[in-house]
Chain A
Amino acid sequence: MNEISKPVHSIGVAKPLIDGPEKVSGKAMYSADFIPDDCLVGRIFRSPVSHAEIINVDISKAAALPGVVAVITGDDCDETYGILPIARFEYPLARDRVRYRGEPVACVAAVDVESAAAAIDLIEFTYKELPAYYTSEDAMADGAIDLHEHRPGNIERDVEYELGDVDAGMEDADLVMEQNYNCAEVCQVQSEPHAAIAEYDPERGTMTVHASTQVPYYVHLMLAKTLKMDKSRIHMIKPKIGGGFGCRTECLNVELICALAARAAEGTVRLVASREETFITHRGRQETDVWMKIGLKKDGTIAAVDFKAVMRGGGYSGYGIVTILYAGSLIYGMYDFEACRYRGLRVLTNTPPPGAMRGHGTVDVRYAFESLLDEMAVELGLDPFTVRRKNLLVAPTFTFNDLMINSYALGECMDWVEEKSGWKERKGKMGPLRGLGLGCSHYPSGASKPVNWTGEPHATVHLKLDWDGSITILTGAPEIGQGSDTVMTQCVAEVLGLDMSRLRILSSDSKLTPKDNGSYSSRVTYMVGNASIDAATKLKTILVEAAAKKLDAKPEDIECLGETYRAASQDEGLSWDEVVYAALEGEGTITVKGNFDTIPESWGTKKYRGGAIGGSMAYAYAAEVVEVSIDPDTAQITVEKVWAAQDVGRALNPLSVEGQIQGSVWMGMGQAISEETLYHEGLPISASMLDYRVPTIIESPPIETGIIESIDPHGPFGAKEAGETALAAFIPALTNAIADAIGVRPLDLPVTPDRLLALMEKKAVETKDAAE
């Protein structure tokens, strides 16, 4: 007699990552860990100047050096690459011009590091320097020469919209205030520097690439384009990835150069970027100047918003056009208001190109908005919670720019942080130099319109059920440390009622797994999670039908109890092996496919150009309270504690969700208090982890996390995004807390002690003058 099993639940259960044992024991293999005996070492020769016409790249001496197998330059590839089909202007190795200091010019493949380094020194680069622009202002100034001929005035994109009557709204408001904010450029500084290993098989004319990327499919496309190879001859594999945060959410030059060098050398090339090179490859968050103007009614109701963002976009487009559009569209979706005017300028400059860092497009603008809102609340004598509660949305709804909001628990997030932080009891009673601040933020769960529109579903997942009774999940979705392999396994296990140990997952191998767009814009849990549920539901249907046939019952009468399938009237039923055999009999190994597509209502607005950017099936919300203390002599900021609540729809894996929220909050803290990329005439002077100040464990605060579940109607089991939302809220929560503590409101980021001290001294002088 079979033992009757019970369905096992995996969703909503705190699950350690399924690849955790490999990670904690050193067995997990990252790109740079593949070191075949015969592989060549790749080294990049980089531009020593910020802006120049290339006259000649003489590689003859380098190529003649013993041990050097190949040297490639821009002459070896005349195909551009880039993430956006409308803005692919970058070559893997510069041709004609270099546009930022450190741009790749040539690459050497040699038998060892010493030979490669010696060959780099023998490359003779002759060029004619051009005027270089390191700020948006200089690049836009009259008489500035164009970095790219097709971008006159160095404007990558000028976007604007006006929805509703902004001037009337401002007129109607009881208080109108405006401020300028400068947010410094920041960088992901993910733990793993970029790395690629490319194996060219000259016999077959095929290429295999392992690379540290969040988007193996986009890399695959760009490899085919730049190598001019048929896509089918390229095998793209993503091994373990040491963090992303958007630094490799588009194909980088590292992978392309590595593959070009491998083909030239007719062998295997390993290209591991140094930390400095990883900083230069950049794709972090651009420097942004935000001008923000808000009109409020006396009770706190938002009457109108008017704002402008100017972004320093670096030498090439990258995601830039999307970034400047996100900054405009995602002012909506947090609060209930209509009238808004936006102007955004994405500027080309002679600095490394930024990209789509965590919270892409939203962070700097959200900081400005939440900071000014707080300042105005003080002016109106309103509590920061009151002013925000006055403007909450009510789901389901569409915002004035047509963002589809189906679940919205920002109010509950605020309730949680208000209570846990003891806001009511403690605010204003904490003594001098200590304060509390509130900030809120939101983020989409994947872009509803994909970057490359091919007509295929947004996500596809395969499940393989074999005679051994095991199920293999095949997904292109890149596990980058965020835990996507674990959450997909949870989704499939939950639908089938199976223990997760019966499942294995294989992700991101182009020859085995279905294509997936990649890990960016928080799309994976939402979209691939839904596709996983779809696939598991289809597999369950097959098993139920097989059990029905075997048990001579109707499918609708079959009860699935995880590893037991039985007809309702029967006691014993079929064991797992029996139902699997019944399903595979005459069929052989089964592969089922699950898909997910976004619904057209979520595709954003047609009211202005670029209105599709920002459209998502669901938005997550966060509220944070930060407690700070300030040293009166040094202006050193200590973040004493953070309370962070996020509406994640449903926490599929509460352990992972907590980890994501804590990591986001903390990354926001870095941007707020210490992180900043610096250049001296284009020379990166903070391109190390000593000069670029990532917070250490010493200054990192306790973060108490509140998980709020609004159960999104379209999300997988009700889930929404969990990994990006909470970053932005920290920054205004911190500056608002500083204002509460010492009556000085920082506007420019990061709020380093020297910046804050200057503000404190200025205030002291003003207070003294006023007293006299």
Chain B
Amino acid sequence: MPNPDNKNLLRCTVNGKEHEQSIPDNLLLVDYLREYLGLTGTKIGCDGGECGCCTVLLDGAPRHACLTLAAVCDDARVETIESLDTRGRLSAIQRGFHEKLGAQCGFCTPGMVMAAEALLRGNPAPSEDQIRRGMAANICRCTGYVKIIEAVQYAAAEIGADQEAAQ
């Protein structure tokens, strides 16, 4: 039985906000986000590393929050699904998943959207094959992935158009 008295002081930035909290050393990042911070957008869909529903960005890279100890996030920057909209306005990727029906039941969606976020930050104009490889750690049971690919393509086009307009 883990010893709940084994506590560490965790200092990290979650969605741009600094947090400092004493946590058990066996606490998973996904439980820290959901139960300590109330950020329930990050979902738990399996018993560890199988489904991708808990995908978050840790210092910009996609990570399974269910396979990550909260304690290792000391001094790190964590981004979750709750960080993507701008004061209630959907991001291009979120809009893509909404408009193109990349989300049906929506349970895998936060993880899917975060995986797409990581993909498009690194590669703003991915090929279909690159989208498939970038999203391969995430399982969806509703869509057959057809509309998920369309959602990411929609978002990539939107982001591309925005960047062109900005130049």
Which residues does chain B contribute within 8 Å of A697, judged by CB atoms? 132, 135-136, 138, 140, 145, 148-149
Scan residues 1-43 of chain A and give those whose CB is less than 8 A from a CB of chain B.
Answer: 16-17, 19-30, 32-33, 35
Given contacts A662-B144, A697-B145, contact A25 B101 (CB under 8 A): no
Does the CB pair A35–B34 fall under 8 Å? yes
| Residues in B whose Cβ lies below 8 Å from that of A24 | 90, 94-95, 97-98, 103, 106, 109, 113
Contacts A/B (CB < 8 Å), 14 sampled: A16-B98, A17-B98, A22-B106, A24-B90, A24-B109, A27-B41, A191-B53, A242-B105, A481-B105, A659-B147, A667-B144, A689-B46, A697-B145, A700-B145
Q: Which of A27, A241, A243, A656 contacts B141 (CB 8 A)?
A: A243
Which residues on B sit within 8 Å (CB–CB) of A244?
105
- Does residue B108 face the partner (Cβ distance < 8 Å to A)? yes
Interface residue? B104 (CB, 8 A): yes
Partner of B144, one of A188, A190, A665: A665
The answer to whether A243 touches B107 (Cβ under 8 A) is yes
Residues 260-278 of chain A: 1 if any B CB is under 8 Å from the residue's CB, otherwise 0? 0000000000001011100
- Please tell me if the beta carbons of B2 and A190 are within 8 angstroms of each other in the complex: no
Is the pair A26, B132 in contact by a Cβ cutoff of 8 Å?
Answer: no
Contact across chains for A193 and B145 when beta carbons are under 8 A apart: no
Q: Footprint of A on B, CB under 8 Å?
A: 1-2, 4, 34-35, 38-47, 50-51, 53, 80-82, 84-85, 90, 94-95, 97-101, 103-110, 113, 132-133, 135-136, 138-149
Contact between chains at B40 and A29 (CB < 8 Å)? yes
Name the 4 nearest CB pairs between A and B, nearest first.
Answer: A26-B41, A481-B105, A666-B144, A242-B107
Q: Which residue of A lies closest to B129 (CB)?
A: A698
Q: How far is the CA of A192 from the CA of B45 in the complex (A)?
A: 6
With beta carbons under 8 angstroms apart, the residue of B90, B132, B145 that contacts A25 is: B90
Instruction: Tell whether, in the assembled complex, residue B104 and residue A275 are in contact, meaning their CB atoms are under 8 Å apart.
Output: no
Give chain A nearest CB distance to B83 CB in angstroms.
Answer: 9
- Say yes or no: is A326 at the interface (Cβ < 8 Å to chain B): no
Which residues of B have CB within 8 Å of A20? 97-99, 101, 103, 106
- Taking a contact as CB atoms under 8 Å apart, the answer to whether B45 and A191 are in contact is yes
Cβ A243 vs Cβ B94 within 8 A: no
- List residues of A (631-680) whose CB comes within 8 Å of B's CBs: 655-656, 658-659, 662-663, 665-667, 669
In the bound complex, how far is the Cα of B109 from the Cα of A248, in angstroms? 21
Return chain B residues, CB-CB under 8 Å to A698.
132-133, 136
Instruction: Specify which chain B residues have a CB less than 8 angstroms from the CB of A33 in the assembled complex.
Output: 34, 40
Contact assessment for A703 and B82 in the assembled complex, using a CB-CB cutoff below 8 Å: no
- Is A245's CB within 8 Å of the partner chain B? yes
Closest chain A residue to B4, Cβ basis: A114
| Interface membership of A503, Cβ < 8 A | no
Q: Is the CB of B94 within 8 A of A25?
A: yes
- A703 in contact with B41 (CB, 8 Å): no
Cα A190 to Cα B46 in complex, Å, equals: 11
Give the chain B neighbours of A623 by CB distance below 8 A: none
Which A residues are in CB contact (< 8 Å) with B97?
20, 23-24
What are the interface flags for A105-120 relative to B under an 8 Å C-beta threshold, 1 for contact and 0 otherwise?
Answer: 0000000101001100
- Chain A residues within 8 Å of B35, by CB: 35
Given A24-B103, A694-B141, also A702-B53 (CB < 8 A):
no
Residue of A nearest to B40 (CB): A33
B-chain residues with CB within 8 Å of residue A23 when the two chains form the complex: 97-98, 103, 106, 109
CB of A480 closer than 8 Å to a CB of B: yes
- Flag whether A690 is at the interface (Cβ < 8 A): yes
Indicate if the CB atoms of B144 and A25 lie closer than 8 Å.
no
Closest A residue by C-beta to B115? A697
- Is B141 touching A191 in the complex (CB atoms < 8 A)? yes
Chain B residues with Cβ below 8 Å from A22 are 106
Q: A686 to chain B: closest CB distance in Å?
A: 12
Assess whether A189 is interfacial by the CB under 8 Å rule.
Answer: yes
When C-beta atoms are compared, the residue in chain B nearest to A33 turns out to be B40
Assess whether B51 is in contact with A191, with CB atoms less than 8 Å apart.
Answer: yes
- In-complex Cβ contact of B39 among A26, A658, A663, A689 (8 A): A26
Answer yes or no: A767 CB below 8 A from chain B CBs: no
Q: Are A114 and B147 in contact (CB under 8 A)?
A: no
Structural contact, A189 and B141, CB atoms closer than 8 A: yes
- B34 A481 Cβ-Cβ under 8 A: no
List the B side residues contacting A454 at CB < 8 Å.
none
**Is B106 a contact of A240 with CB atoms below 8 Å?**
yes
Interface residue? A530 (CB, 8 A)? no
Q: How far is the CA of A114 from the CA of B31 in the complex (A)?
A: 14
| Residue pair A275, B141 in contact (C-beta under 8 Å) | no
User: Is A276 touching B107 in the complex (CB atoms < 8 A)?
Assistant: no
Contact B101 A16 (CB under 8 A): yes
Alpha-carbon distance A17/B98, docked complex (angstroms): 7
A688 CB-CB contact with B under 8 Å: yes
**B-contact 0/1 string along A699-718, CB 8 Å cutoff:** 01011000000000000000
| 11 extra A-B contacts, CB within 8 A, seeds A190-B141, A275-B45 | A20-B98, A27-B41, A27-B82, A114-B1, A191-B140, A242-B106, A245-B141, A275-B46, A659-B147, A663-B143, A666-B146
Q: Closest B residue to A23 by CB, please name it.
A: B106
| A contact residues around B40 at 8 Å (CB) | 26, 29, 33, 35
Which residues from A are CB-within-8-Å of B109? 23-24
A28: chain B residues at CB < 8 Å are 106
Q: Give bound CA distance, A35 to B108, whole Å.
A: 20
B50–A192 touching, CB < 8 Å: no
User: Does A50 touch B at the CB level, under 8 Å?
Assistant: no
Are B101 and A656 within 8 A (Cβ)? Answer: yes
Contacts of B46 in A (CB 8 A): 193, 275, 688-689
A696 interface residue per 8 A CB criterion: yes
Q: A24-B98, A663-B144 are in contact. Are A191 and B108 (CB under 8 A)?
A: yes
Contact B113 A241 (CB under 8 A): no
A315 within 8 A of B: no
User: Per-position contact with B for A146-165: 1 when CB-CB < 8 Å, else 0?
Assistant: 00000000000000000000
Closest A residue to B108 by beta carbon equals A191
User: Is A482 interfacial (CB-CB < 8 Å)?
Assistant: yes
Contact status B50-A689, CB under 8 Å? yes
- Interface presence of A483 (CB below 8 A): yes
Closest A residue, CB atoms, query B31: A113
Complex CA gap A242/B41 in Å reads 13
Interface hub of B4, B51, B113, B136 (most chain A Cβ within 10 A): B51
Q: Which residues of B contact A30 (CB under 8 A)?
A: 43, 107
Scoring A240, A242, A667 by chain B CB atoms within 10 A of each residue's CB, the highest score goes to A242
Instruction: Collect the chain A residues with CB atoms within 8 Å of residue B39's CB.
Output: 26
Q: Which of B1, B94, B136 is in CB contact (< 8 Å) with A118? A: B1
Shortest CB-to-CB span from A109 to chain B, Å, is: 17
> What is the bound-complex CA distance between A702 and B139, given in angstroms?
17
Query: In the complex, which of the residues A192, A242, A243, A659 contacts B101, with contact meaning CB atoms closer than 8 Å?
Result: A659
For residue A152, give the distance in angstroms from its CB to the closest CB of chain B: 39
Please report which residues of chain A, range 296-336, place their CB below 8 angstroms from some CB of chain B when the two chains form the complex.
none
Bound CA–CA A51/B71 (angstroms) = 43
Q: Check if A192 sits within 8 Å of B104, measured CB to CB.
A: no
CA distance A481 to B107 in the complex (A): 9
Contacts of A188 in B (CB 8 A): 141
Q: Contact: A32 with B44, CB < 8 Å?
A: yes
Q: Which residues of A contact B103 (CB under 8 A)?
A: 17, 20, 23-24
Chain B min CB distance to A33 (Å): 4
Q: Which residues of A contact B85 (CB under 8 A)?
A: 25
- Which of A27, A274, A689, A703 is in CB contact (< 8 Å) with B146? A703
Contact residues in B for A240 (Cβ distance below 8 Å): 105-107
Min CB distance B12 to A, Å, is 18
Complex: chain A residue closest to B131, CB-CB: A697
Q: Which of chain B's residues have a CB closer than 8 A to the CB of A242?
A: 43, 45, 105-108
Residues of B within 8 A of A689 (CB): 45-46, 50-51, 139
Q: Is the CB of A193 within 8 A of B144?
A: no
* Residue ID in chain B nearest A644 by CB atoms: B144
Q: How far, in angstroms, from A128 to B45 measured CA to CA in the complex?
A: 36
Cα A245 to Cα B104 with chains together (Å) = 12
B143 → chain A, closest Cβ, in Å?
Answer: 6
B94 vs chain A, min Cβ distance (A): 4
The interface centre, meaning the residue of B82, B103, B146 with most chain A CB atoms within 10 A of its CB, is B146
